[in-house]
Structure 1
Amino acid sequence: MPSFDTVLKADAVELRNAIDQTNKEITGRFDFKGSSAKVELKEFDITIHADSEFQREQVLDVLRNKCTKRNVDPKFLVEEKVEKMSGDKVKQLIKVKNGVAQDDAKKIVKAIKDSKIKVQASIQGDAVRVTGGKRDDLQATMALLRKDMDDLPLTFDNFRD
């Protein structure tokens, strides 16, 4: 039976490269001279440090641009609340989506079942496995998910024939 996995994970290497490029651009820009603005990555948490709210917005904009250029969808970045530090300094935590959440997995399964395509979908941990009789049905399911779940940057792995 042909099958594939629907997953939600960013390319860790490209994400690291995007953050390194962001830090490099920040240190080279004239409007950031003498500031302590920086971006850090720990596991799947990105922390932005900046001297002001305006600088934080600028750093976030640079980060999004670098992610886009490195083919990391900015939809992976989930912004948390901005924290005030001493003086005007601010810090913001950005979570990187990793794995399909349970409620999102249920939406995916429901969309597949409502489509009447002859495939079966099952939730397997943080992925959704789709199996079907024909390769064409699986490709139609991929197209359906790309169209219907545009708020999630889904990828399709482990395609078996």
Structure 2
Amino acid sequence: MPSFDIVNEVNAQEVDNAVNNTLKEVATRYDFRGLHTELEFAKKQNRIDIVAAESMKLNAVKEMLIKHFIKRGLEPKALDFGSEEGTSQGHVKMSATIKEGIDRETAKKIVKEIKNLKLKVQPAIQDNQVRVSGKKIDDLQEVIRNLKSKSFGIPLQFVNLK
């Protein structure tokens, strides 16, 4: 019986590359000369920390990071930016959490959307992914086509189509 998995995975190496490219761009930009700017990717916590001299520079670094995410083929939807906070040195900081996996609520929305299509497929929630199986590959492709047109707040990848 053919099946595929709906997942939300982010390539950590590509995230690291996007962060490094953003750091290079910050180092070469004239408006950042002499100003304190940090950008750090914590792989274990799946988080990117941004520290800048002022709020406007922080937003500029955030926009650069999003631009480099797109260039590296990563979805910016995977980034969940926190609120802006002050530091003890007078700088401002922000953390961006990288969302991976599909949480229960989003998985339920995906399953409901698949069932509303009235196709002969069976969606099943498994840990942090959704497996869809059916008798016809055409039905599975129709599910993929439909889900790509919808927005669930996270990037979705369709893997293991067998």
Segments of structure 1 that go 5 or more residues without pairing to the other structure are none
Give CA-to-partner distance per residue, 1:45-90, whole Å, 9 cap, x none: 0100101001100000100101111111111111111111125301
**Residue number in structure 2 paired with 1:67:** 69
Aligned-CA RMSD value: 1.1
User: Alignment partner of 1:156: what SS?
Assistant: strand
1:1-161 → structure 2 map (5 Å cutoff): 1-43=1-43, 44-149=46-151, 151-160=153-162
Segments of structure 2 that go 5 or more residues without pairing to the other structure are none
In structure 2, what is the Cα distance between the partners aligned to 1:68 and 1:51?
25
TM-score by length of structure 2 reads 0.95
User: Alignment partner of 1:81: what SS?
Assistant: coil
In structure 2, what is the Cα distance between the partners aligned to 1:87 and 1:38?
13
Q: How many residues align?
A: 160
Q: Once the 2 structures are TM-superposed, how far is the Cα of residue 16 of structure 1 from its aligned partner?
A: 1.0
Q: Once the 2 structures are TM-superposed, how far is the Cα of residue 151 of structure 1 from its aligned partner?
A: 3.3
Aligned 8 A contact 2:16 2:41 in 1: yes
In structure 2, what is the Cα distance between the partners aligned to 1:149 and 1:101?
15
Aligned 8 A contact 2:106 2:152 in 1: no
Q: Percent identity?
A: 39
TM-score by length of structure 1 reads 0.95
Q: Once the 2 structures are TM-superposed, how far is the Cα of residue 150 of structure 1 from its aligned partner?
A: 5.4
User: Alignment partner of 2:105: what SS?
Assistant: helix
User: Alignment partner of 1:39: what SS?
Assistant: strand
